[in-house]
Chain A
Amino acid sequence: MDKPILQLTDIRKSFLAVRALKGVSFDLTAGEVHALLGENGAGKSTLIKVITGAHQPDTGAIQVNGNIVEKLTPASAHKLGIAAIYQQPALFPDLSVAENIALSLEPPKTFRRIRWNARHDQARQLLDRVGAKIDPDAEVRSLSMPEQQLVEIAKALGTGARILIMDEPTASLTHTEVQLLLGVVRDLRTQGVGIIYISHRLEEIFQIADRVTVLRDGESVGTNPVSKINEASLIKLMVGREVASIYPPSETQPRDVVVSLKNLGCASSGVRGVSFDVRAGEIFGLAGLVGAGRTELARILFGITPADGGEISLNGKAIQIHSPREAVEHGIAYVPEDRRRHGVILEMSIAANMTMAIHPQFFPGAWLRFGKEEAFAQTYIRDLQIKAFGPEAPGGSLSGGNQQKVALARWLATKPKVLILDEPTQGVDVGAKSEIHKIIRRLAAQGLAVIMISSDLPEILGMSDRIGVMRGGTVTGILDGKTADPHSVMAAALGQTEGINA
Chain B
Amino acid sequence: MKKYFREISVAIALGILLLVMAIVAPGFYQPQPLLSLLTREAPTIVIACGMALVIIARQIDISVGSQFAVCSVCAGLLAAKGWPLPIVFLSSVFFGVLMGAVNGWLVAGLKLPSIVVTLATMVTLRQGLNMARQGEFVNLPDTVQWFGLSQVGGQWLLVTASVALLVVMAFAMKLLSAGRFVYAVGTDAEASRLSGIRPQLVTFSTFAFIGALTGLAAMMNIAQSPQVQPLSGTGLELKVIAAVVVGGVAISGGRGNLWGVFAGLLLLACVSPALTHLHVEAYWEKAIQGGIILLAVVTDGLRTRKQKT
A residues with a Cβ closer than 8 A to B are: 302, 304, 323-325, 327-329, 334, 336, 341-345, 347-348, 352, 356-357, 359-360, 363, 366-368, 410
Query: CB-CB < 8 A to A368: which residues of B?
Result: 174-177, 179-180
Query: CB-CB < 8 A to A352: which residues of B?
Result: 180
Distance in angstroms from B242 CB to nearest chain A CB is: 24
Among A302, A329, A341, the residue within 8 A (CB) of B188 is: A341
Query: CB-CB < 8 A to A325: which residues of B?
Result: 196-198
Query: CB-CB < 8 A to A357: which residues of B?
Result: 195-196
Nearest residue, chain A, Cβ from B250: A347
Among B174, B178, B184, B196, the residue within 8 A (CB) of A348 is: B184
Query: CB-CB < 8 A to A324: which residues of B?
Result: 193-196
**Is B294 among interface residues, defined by CB-CB distance under 8 A?**
no
Query: CB-CB < 8 A to B255: which residues of A?
Result: 347
Nearest residue, chain A, Cβ from B3: A394
Please list 13 pairs of residues, one from A and one from B, whose beta carbons are closer than 8 Å in the complex, sorted by A's number: A325-B197, A325-B198, A342-B194, A345-B191, A347-B254, A348-B187, A356-B184, A356-B192, A357-B196, A359-B177, A359-B180, A367-B175, A368-B180
Query: CB-CB < 8 A to A366: which residues of B?
Result: 176-178
Residue of B179, B181, B191, B198 ringed by the most chain A CB atoms within 10 A: B191
**Is B207 among interface residues, defined by CB-CB distance under 8 A?**
no
Contact (Cβ within 8 A) A342 B191: yes
Residue of A327, A342, A344, A410 ringed by the most chain B CB atoms within 10 A: A342
Nearest residue, chain B, Cβ from A366: B177
**Is B259 among interface residues, defined by CB-CB distance under 8 A?**
no
Nearest residue, chain B, Cβ from A325: B196
Contact (Cβ within 8 A) B194 A336: yes
Contact (Cβ within 8 A) B190 A342: yes
**Is B183 among interface residues, defined by CB-CB distance under 8 A?**
yes
Residue of B177, B254, B255 ringed by the most chain A CB atoms within 10 A: B177
Contact (Cβ within 8 A) A410 B195: yes
User: Which residues B162-207 have CB closer than 8 A to chain A?
Assistant: 174-181, 183-184, 187-188, 190-198
Contact (Cβ within 8 A) A347 B196: no
Please give 12 more A-B residue pairs, beta carbons under 8 A apart, in addition to A324-B196, A343-B191.
A304-B193, A323-B198, A324-B195, A341-B191, A345-B184, A345-B188, A347-B187, A348-B187, A356-B184, A356-B197, A357-B195, A368-B176
For the complex of A and B, the 3 pairs showing the least CB-CB separation, nearest first, are A328-B196, A366-B177, A356-B195
Give bound CA distance, A15 to B192, whole Å: 31
B residues with a Cβ closer than 8 A to A are: 174-181, 183-184, 187-188, 190-198, 254-255
Give bound CA distance, A359 to B178, whole Å: 9
Query: CB-CB < 8 A to A344: which residues of B?
Result: 191
Among B176, B191, B196, the residue within 8 A (CB) of A367 is: B176
Give bound CA distance, A302 to B187, whole Å: 22
Query: CB-CB < 8 A to B193: which residues of A?
Result: 304, 324
Distance in angstroms from B70 CB to nearest chain A CB is: 32
Nearest residue, chain A, Cβ from B198: A325
Nearest residue, chain B, Cβ from A344: B191
Distance in angstroms from B186 CB to nearest chain A CB is: 10
Distance in angstroms from A489 CB to nearest chain B CB is: 28
Distance in angstroms from B189 CB to nearest chain A CB is: 10
The number of residue pairs between A and B whose CB atoms lie closer than 8 Å in the complex comes to 62
Distance in angstroms from A212 CB to nearest chain B CB is: 39
Give bound CA distance, A352 to B177, whole Å: 10
Give bound CA distance, A367 to B177, whole Å: 6
Distance in angstroms from A438 CB to nearest chain B CB is: 25
Distance in angstroms from A66 CB to nearest chain B CB is: 41
Query: CB-CB < 8 A to A334: which residues of B?
Result: 194
Distance in angstroms from B57 CB to nearest chain A CB is: 14
Give bound CA distance, A368 to B187, whole Å: 19
Distance in angstroms from A303 CB to nearest chain B CB is: 10
Query: CB-CB < 8 A to B194: which residues of A?
Result: 302, 304, 324, 334, 336, 342-343
Nearest residue, chain A, Cβ from B254: A347
Give bound CA distance, A347 to B50, whole Å: 22
Query: CB-CB < 8 A to A323: which residues of B?
Result: 198
Query: CB-CB < 8 A to A343: which residues of B?
Result: 191, 194
Give bound CA distance, A357 to B184, whole Å: 11
Query: CB-CB < 8 A to A336: which residues of B?
Result: 194
Give bound CA distance, A231 to B254, whole Å: 52
Give bound CA distance, A291 to B187, whole Å: 29
Give bound CA distance, A341 to B187, whole Å: 11
Contact (Cβ within 8 A) B187 A345: yes
Nearest residue, chain A, Cβ from B175: A368
Distance in angstroms from A353 CB to nearest chain B CB is: 9
Give bound CA distance, A476 to B198, whole Å: 35
Give bound CA distance, A218 to B178, whole Å: 48
Distance in angstroms from B111 CB to nearest chain A CB is: 15
Distance in angstroms from A344 CB to nearest chain B CB is: 8
Query: CB-CB < 8 A to B192: which residues of A?
Result: 345, 356
Distance in angstroms from A227 CB to nearest chain B CB is: 49
Give bound CA distance, A282 to B197, whole Å: 29
Distance in angstroms from A304 CB to nearest chain B CB is: 7
Give bound CA distance, A446 to B254, whole Å: 37
Query: CB-CB < 8 A to B181: which residues of A?
Result: 359
Nearest residue, chain B, Cβ from A368: B175
Query: CB-CB < 8 A to B198: which residues of A?
Result: 323, 325
Distance in angstroms from B183 CB to nearest chain A CB is: 7
Nearest residue, chain B, Cβ from A326: B196
Query: CB-CB < 8 A to B195: which residues of A?
Result: 324, 356-357, 410
Distance in angstroms from A334 CB to nearest chain B CB is: 7
Distance in angstroms from B202 CB to nearest chain A CB is: 12
Give bound CA distance, A345 to B177, whole Å: 16
Contact (Cβ within 8 A) A348 B177: no
Distance in angstroms from B218 CB to nearest chain A CB is: 29
Nearest residue, chain A, Cβ from B184: A345
Residue of B181, B193, B255 ringed by the most chain A CB atoms within 10 A: B193
Query: CB-CB < 8 A to A410: which residues of B?
Result: 195
Query: CB-CB < 8 A to B187: which residues of A?
Result: 345, 347-348
Distance in angstroms from B27 CB to nearest chain A CB is: 45
Distance in angstroms from B205 CB to nearest chain A CB is: 13
Give bound CA distance, A356 to B190, whole Å: 13
Query: CB-CB < 8 A to B175: which residues of A?
Result: 367-368
Give bound CA distance, A363 to B188, whole Å: 22
Give bound CA distance, A484 to B176, whole Å: 51
Distance in angstroms from B238 CB to nearest chain A CB is: 28
